[in-house]
Protein backbone atom coordinates (compact mmCIF):
# COMPACT_ATOMS: atom_id res chain seq x y z
CA UNK A 1 0.00 0.00 0.00
CA UNK A 2 1.09 3.58 -0.60
CA UNK A 3 1.16 4.44 3.10
CA UNK A 4 3.80 1.88 4.05
CA UNK A 5 6.89 3.48 5.65
CA UNK A 6 9.79 4.22 3.35
CA UNK A 7 13.36 3.54 4.48
CA UNK A 8 16.01 5.96 3.21
CA UNK A 9 19.67 5.20 3.99
CA UNK A 10 18.52 3.03 6.90
CA UNK A 11 16.21 5.72 8.34
CA UNK A 12 12.42 5.77 8.46
CA UNK A 13 10.67 8.36 6.27
CA UNK A 14 6.99 8.89 7.00
CA UNK A 15 6.14 9.43 3.36
CA UNK A 16 4.00 7.93 0.64
CA UNK A 17 5.70 5.66 -1.86
CA UNK A 18 4.74 8.31 -4.42
CA UNK A 19 7.36 10.66 -2.97
CA UNK A 20 10.11 9.42 -5.29
CA UNK A 21 8.38 10.17 -8.59
CA UNK A 22 6.73 13.35 -7.31
CA UNK A 23 9.89 14.98 -5.99
CA UNK A 24 11.87 14.00 -9.07
CA UNK A 25 9.35 16.04 -11.06
CA UNK A 26 9.41 18.82 -8.46
CA UNK A 27 13.15 19.34 -8.58
CA UNK A 28 13.27 18.91 -12.36
CA UNK A 29 10.76 21.74 -12.68
CA UNK A 30 12.80 23.94 -10.37
CA UNK A 31 15.86 23.24 -12.50
CA UNK A 32 13.95 24.30 -15.62
CA UNK A 33 12.99 27.55 -13.86
CA UNK A 34 16.57 28.09 -12.60
CA UNK A 35 15.19 28.03 -9.05
CA UNK A 36 16.93 25.07 -7.45
CA UNK A 37 17.24 25.77 -3.72
CA UNK A 38 20.05 27.63 -2.02
CA UNK A 39 18.65 26.28 1.24
CA UNK A 40 16.04 23.86 2.47
CA UNK A 41 14.37 24.38 5.85
CA UNK A 42 12.51 21.40 7.25
CA UNK A 43 10.18 21.89 10.20
CA UNK A 44 9.84 18.46 11.79
CA UNK A 45 12.80 16.07 11.43
CA UNK A 46 11.19 13.02 13.04
CA UNK A 47 13.28 9.97 12.08
CA UNK A 48 15.38 11.76 9.45
CA UNK A 49 14.68 9.61 6.40
CA UNK A 50 12.96 12.34 4.40
CA UNK A 51 15.66 14.80 5.47
CA UNK A 52 18.34 12.56 4.01
CA UNK A 53 16.27 12.01 0.87
CA UNK A 54 16.13 15.76 0.25
CA UNK A 55 19.84 16.29 0.92
CA UNK A 56 20.91 13.45 -1.36
CA UNK A 57 18.48 14.07 -4.21
CA UNK A 58 20.65 14.29 -7.34
CA UNK A 59 19.12 17.59 -8.43
CA UNK A 60 19.60 19.35 -5.10
CA UNK A 61 22.83 21.37 -5.44
CA UNK A 62 25.79 20.21 -3.39
CA UNK A 63 26.09 23.66 -1.83
CA UNK A 64 22.41 23.75 -0.80
CA UNK A 65 22.29 24.11 2.97
CA UNK A 66 19.73 21.97 4.78
CA UNK A 67 18.42 23.00 8.19
CA UNK A 68 16.04 20.68 10.01
CA UNK A 69 14.24 21.51 13.25
CA UNK A 70 12.63 19.26 15.82
CA UNK A 71 11.77 19.63 19.48
CA UNK A 72 13.40 16.25 20.23
CA UNK A 73 16.04 13.96 18.77
CA UNK A 74 14.35 10.85 20.18
CA UNK A 75 12.99 9.70 16.81
CA UNK A 76 16.44 9.95 15.25
CA UNK A 77 17.65 7.16 17.53
CA UNK A 78 15.97 4.66 15.20
CA UNK A 79 12.49 3.15 14.98
CA UNK A 80 9.84 1.90 12.53
CA UNK A 81 12.26 -0.28 10.62
CA UNK A 82 15.22 2.09 10.89
CA UNK A 83 18.56 0.36 11.23
CA UNK A 84 20.86 3.33 11.88
CA UNK A 85 21.25 6.32 14.18
CA UNK A 86 19.93 9.35 12.34
CA UNK A 87 21.94 11.82 14.39
CA UNK A 88 25.19 10.44 13.04
CA UNK A 89 23.93 10.24 9.46
CA UNK A 90 22.68 13.84 9.47
CA UNK A 91 25.99 15.00 10.89
CA UNK A 92 27.96 13.07 8.26
CA UNK A 93 25.96 14.77 5.49
CA UNK A 94 26.50 18.24 6.98
CA UNK A 95 22.77 18.57 7.65
CA UNK A 96 22.20 21.14 10.37
CA UNK A 97 19.89 19.57 12.95
CA UNK A 98 18.54 22.12 15.42
CA UNK A 99 16.73 20.78 18.47
CA UNK A 100 14.29 23.55 19.33
CA UNK A 101 10.63 24.50 19.63
CA UNK A 102 9.83 25.95 16.20
CA UNK A 103 7.17 28.18 17.76
CA UNK A 104 9.56 29.77 20.25
CA UNK A 105 10.24 33.43 19.54
CA UNK A 106 13.98 32.97 19.01
CA UNK A 107 13.45 30.01 16.65
CA UNK A 108 10.89 31.92 14.59
CA UNK A 109 13.40 34.76 14.25
CA UNK A 110 16.17 32.38 13.19
CA UNK A 111 13.99 30.62 10.59
CA UNK A 112 12.82 33.98 9.24
CA UNK A 113 16.42 35.09 8.79
CA UNK A 114 17.28 31.87 6.95
CA UNK A 115 14.31 32.16 4.60
CA UNK A 116 15.14 35.74 3.73
CA UNK A 117 18.75 35.06 2.77
CA UNK A 118 19.67 35.43 -0.90
CA UNK A 119 18.66 32.59 -3.21
CA UNK A 120 15.68 30.28 -3.31
CA UNK A 121 14.44 29.02 0.04
CA UNK A 122 12.17 25.98 0.30
CA UNK A 123 10.30 25.38 3.55
CA UNK A 124 8.85 21.94 4.35
CA UNK A 125 6.20 22.02 7.10
CA UNK A 126 6.11 18.55 8.62
CA UNK A 127 6.02 19.11 12.36
CA UNK A 128 3.31 18.71 14.94
CA UNK A 129 1.01 21.52 13.76
CA UNK A 130 1.29 21.96 10.02
CA UNK A 131 -1.54 24.48 9.84
CA UNK A 132 0.22 26.86 12.21
CA UNK A 133 3.60 26.23 10.59
CA UNK A 134 2.33 27.05 7.09
CA UNK A 135 0.40 30.14 8.15
CA UNK A 136 3.23 31.44 10.34
CA UNK A 137 6.28 30.93 8.16
CA UNK A 138 4.67 31.72 4.80
CA UNK A 139 4.73 35.38 5.81
CA UNK A 140 8.53 35.44 5.52
CA UNK A 141 8.88 34.07 1.98
CA UNK A 142 10.62 36.05 -0.74
CA UNK A 143 9.40 36.10 -4.32
CA UNK A 144 10.16 32.69 -5.83
CA UNK A 145 10.41 30.88 -2.49
CA UNK A 146 8.28 27.78 -1.93
CA UNK A 147 6.48 26.43 1.12
CA UNK A 148 5.08 22.91 1.39
CA UNK A 149 3.00 21.15 4.03
CA UNK A 150 2.74 17.39 4.51
CA UNK A 151 -0.39 15.32 5.23
CA UNK A 152 -2.36 17.64 2.93
CA UNK A 153 -5.51 16.53 1.16
CA UNK A 154 -7.58 19.41 -0.15
CA UNK A 155 -10.97 18.37 1.28
CA UNK A 156 -12.32 15.91 3.82
CA UNK A 157 -14.47 14.39 1.10
CA UNK A 158 -11.48 13.72 -1.14
CA UNK A 159 -9.55 12.22 1.79
CA UNK A 160 -12.35 9.84 2.70
CA UNK A 161 -13.09 8.79 -0.87
CA UNK A 162 -9.67 8.58 -2.47
CA UNK A 163 -6.87 8.51 0.11
CA UNK A 164 -7.86 6.89 3.40
CA UNK A 165 -6.89 3.23 3.39
CA UNK A 166 -5.51 3.54 -0.14
CA UNK A 167 -2.75 6.12 -0.45
CA UNK A 168 -2.48 7.82 2.94
CA UNK A 169 -4.26 7.52 6.27
CA UNK A 170 -3.74 10.97 7.77
CA UNK A 171 -5.13 14.38 6.83
CA UNK A 172 -3.62 17.08 9.04
CA UNK A 173 -4.10 20.06 6.75
CA UNK A 174 -6.59 20.90 4.01
CA UNK A 175 -7.13 23.71 1.52
CA UNK A 176 -9.40 25.78 3.73
CA UNK A 177 -6.64 25.88 6.39
CA UNK A 178 -4.25 27.78 4.12
CA UNK A 179 -6.56 29.89 1.93
CA UNK A 180 -6.21 33.00 4.07
CA UNK A 181 -2.41 32.95 4.14
CA UNK A 182 -2.22 32.25 0.41
CA UNK A 183 -4.37 35.28 -0.34
CA UNK A 184 -2.62 37.52 2.18
CA UNK A 185 0.92 36.67 1.10
CA UNK A 186 0.29 36.13 -2.62
CA UNK A 187 1.06 32.42 -2.67
CA UNK A 188 0.14 30.48 -5.79
CA UNK A 189 -0.10 26.70 -6.31
CA UNK A 190 3.15 25.20 -7.56
CA UNK A 191 2.85 21.75 -9.15
CA UNK A 192 -0.03 21.13 -6.77
CA UNK A 193 -1.62 18.39 -8.85
CA UNK A 194 1.61 16.40 -8.77
CA UNK A 195 2.44 17.11 -5.13
CA UNK A 196 -1.06 16.06 -4.07
CA UNK A 197 -0.18 12.50 -5.07
CA UNK A 198 2.35 12.49 -2.22
CA UNK A 199 -0.01 14.40 0.12
CA UNK A 200 1.91 17.67 0.09
CA UNK A 201 0.54 21.18 -0.30
CA UNK A 202 2.84 23.35 -2.42
CA UNK A 203 2.78 27.13 -2.86
CA UNK A 204 5.19 29.60 -4.45
CA UNK A 205 5.45 33.25 -3.44
CA UNK A 206 4.91 35.51 -6.45
- Residue pLDDT tens, the chain, 206 long: 345 668 898 898 999 999 999 999 999 999 999 999 999 999 999 999 999 999 999 999 999 999 999 999 988 976 666 678 899 999 999 999 999 999 999 999 999 999 999 999 999 999 999 999 999 999 999 999 999 999 999 999 999 999 999 999 999 999 999 999 999 999 999 999 999 999 999 999 99
From 51, 30, 189, 196, select the one nearest 126 (Cα to Cα). 51
Which neighbouring-strand residues pair with 11?
8
Nearest to 86 by CA among 115, 127, 52: 52
β-pairing, 11-13 vs 39-43, is unpaired
> Is the CB of residue 37 less than 8 Å from the CB of residue 122?
yes
122 φ/ψ angles, rounded to the nearest 5 degrees: -120, 125
Amino acid sequence: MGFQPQIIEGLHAGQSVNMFEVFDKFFNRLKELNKLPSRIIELGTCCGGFTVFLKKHPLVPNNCELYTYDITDWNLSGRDGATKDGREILKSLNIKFIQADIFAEETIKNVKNLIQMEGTSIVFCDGGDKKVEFNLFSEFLKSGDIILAHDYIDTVENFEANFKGKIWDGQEIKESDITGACQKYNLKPFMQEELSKAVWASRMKE
